[in-house]
Structure 1
Amino acid sequence: MLMIAPMHFGHIVPATMVKRVCVIGAGASGLASIKCCLDEGLEPTCFEMGDDIGGLWKYHDEVIEGQASIYQSLVTNTSKEMMCFSDFPMPTHFPVFLHHTVLFQYFQLYAKKFQLTKYIHFKTKVTSITKQADFPLSGQWNIMIVDENGKEEKLVFDAVMLCSGLQINPHLPLESFPGIQHFRGRYLHSHDYKKPQEFQGQRVLVIGASNSGVDVAVAISDQASQVYLSTRSGVWVFDPLGENGHPYDMSILSRWIFTKLRWCSWEGKKIEQKLNQRFDHANFGLQCNYRCIDRQGTINNPLPYRILSGTVIVKSNVESFTETEPSSKMEPVLKIWMPSFLQPGSLSIILQLKLMVHCRWIREIASLYLKMYFYQSCQNRHWLLLVRWNRLDQTVQLRKCKLVGPVAFSKG
């Protein structure tokens, strides 16, 4: 998310006024934002509350409050060719799908290559972002920070780039499950899950069949006495390997295919037929009540085999919880939430596949090379910029440039 000076009708703030940029977060988005600011001659200053770069992909054995968390066995479900920064390809010896430790190494290489760490203040938390008193004229922002010693400081910036991510604060929707207060087992969010060994011999119910939910259900099925996977609407399960053993995303993620999917429903049906050829989702209890092109599917290879072996049992939506039930009923002693229906907490620079597009778009706005389209806000009488992040073609059109690669821009 970019916060920048207002644009008045008939007047654009000179580019020379937009110099100092505050970048909040030193994860994948933050690193790319710093790099793009430097490319444009801006002056980035990044504040990271942790002690290292990487954000979500910096693994910790313990859960740290206020920071994103990943589990020990996490492996990317996007291939390295589609996940790398467009200006820094991943080393050829890296595997196609990366364990989180390997991806963290890549971020370290990226930061070292472009000397990004000298612009980052670690163990520094941003506590508030407010407009300057003369904001209608200056467009500047007041940033309050606190360092590791508790010292507060107020700084002024011309623009702010929010790169703090979405997976920071876990949300347990307890109100959606009547009787949960009577549940005598332990329940937790996937944010708090680390290793499968801690669930050895237990009966576990995983609610939600998103990528994280299925990953965790499969991982702990080796240790738990029984794993139940609850899904209220089913899920389309994609194999990470496509035709001829190539990564699936190298063949299906293209502007041409997504344009066809938007207008040709039969293309979506063809994909569903291929998915059901691998295994019939209805027979496995995963039949979806939506089309595969309407929502994000789940990428997982071992799940159907775990279902066939009985180590993972698929159940429908949980209606309620009771304190005791007959022994023939399912009695999980542990409950893990991976809710896929939660609303995102903010609009930020996220999504690795489109990361460089986001950052380059924002740097162009900050330097005012981009021809802007303004929409008047009746509330504050400022002119605002409307951006649809999911349209690469629209980005290119507004930028008035040629698309060299999937995410590469060239000035013209």
Structure 2
Amino acid sequence: MDIEFVNHASLLLEEKGSYFLTDPWYVSPAFGGWIQNPSPRTAMIEKLLSLPADKLNVIISHGHDDHLDEFFIQQHLADATFFVPKFKTNGLSKRIERLTGRYPVELTEEAYYVDGVELRCFINPDFTEYDSIVTVVSETDAVIHANDNWHEYPVALTDALNECLSAVPVENRYFFIQFGIADSFPVNYPSFDKQSADEMIESRFKSYQAATTANLKHLGLDKGFYYANQSLYQYPASWDRGSLYDLAQDFLRRNPGPFTQCVSGIDIKTSQLHDSPGEELFDLLLGQLERFLNKAVGGPVPVRLLTASDEYESGTVGYEASRHVWSRILNAELTLEAIIIGGMGLVHRPDQNISSIHAKVSKLAYLIQSKLISNGLNFLMESK
């Protein structure tokens, strides 16, 4: 089985021409504020877009937005076969039905086979009834897609997982599990001073490492992979440390253990990085949108699309917004008028009247939104 890491909790598995994609979250913000950090590699998304729908099986572990990109699913994956856990209520199944027009296959602990590949779903009763651990087992390899289930597993769950994996050699079992703070505590709690917040963050990391390492040992494994932690939100102005993802990586450097952090370009079976990970999807899409605008607007004054980390180039019209706002524009939730009119960014201008450029960009804003709704990311990627 080929195992490729896409981003966050998304894996692409291939077995004899059949593909299994977990938890796609590539473009849209989650929970109103999260963005992908880092964004997936363009090459991986291009590969996904090229896969035949009748050979693509999409597995959604649970209903959190960072495991389920509605825009990408509706635009690019709707014809694939979808699998979700059979929870006590069917809200997730109905959500997939709304996006794809078809009710998904609901997985349980009983084996379900797709072209000889076995799929099962396990729920930790001590954690939540609405999250799951999914196993994908071929003749030679097994993937344990545990996503957010980092809490130490009860004996009954461990026994069930080990029985499910028993036909696959231990060295061919690949365990993926979350490592990282997946909420805003204590960063967005101003009642805590800096020292208290730092101590709480360190304590949480220690808990995650202890629990995930215990689960690894319960499964009889020597190594595993951390993922489901590649996100970023806008921290308070008073927060002067790195992102929670950066702090997690710093903790792991100081406290190495049996897990390898999944990063763009990693070879799962060797744990080695490829030399050239390639361009990130967000950078490509924003660059393509900028090229489209300049071609359509015309004229001697270039238009530039900027994030806060970019420098304004004098003599241009620069539209600056956060990556979060740009993500909402790229998934057609907002238009460029969110910056021009809505004040959701900054407009940099040369020492001249730019009203005519504003007018053209405003008119193009709805054309762009329409094309993204009708063609998805192909609108920008096909002109690469």
Question: What TM-score do you get using the length of structure 2 for normalisation?
Answer: 0.27
Relative contact order, CA 8 A, sep 6+: which one is greater? 1
Which structure's residues are more often helix, by fraction?
2
- The structure with the largest alpha-carbon Rg is 1
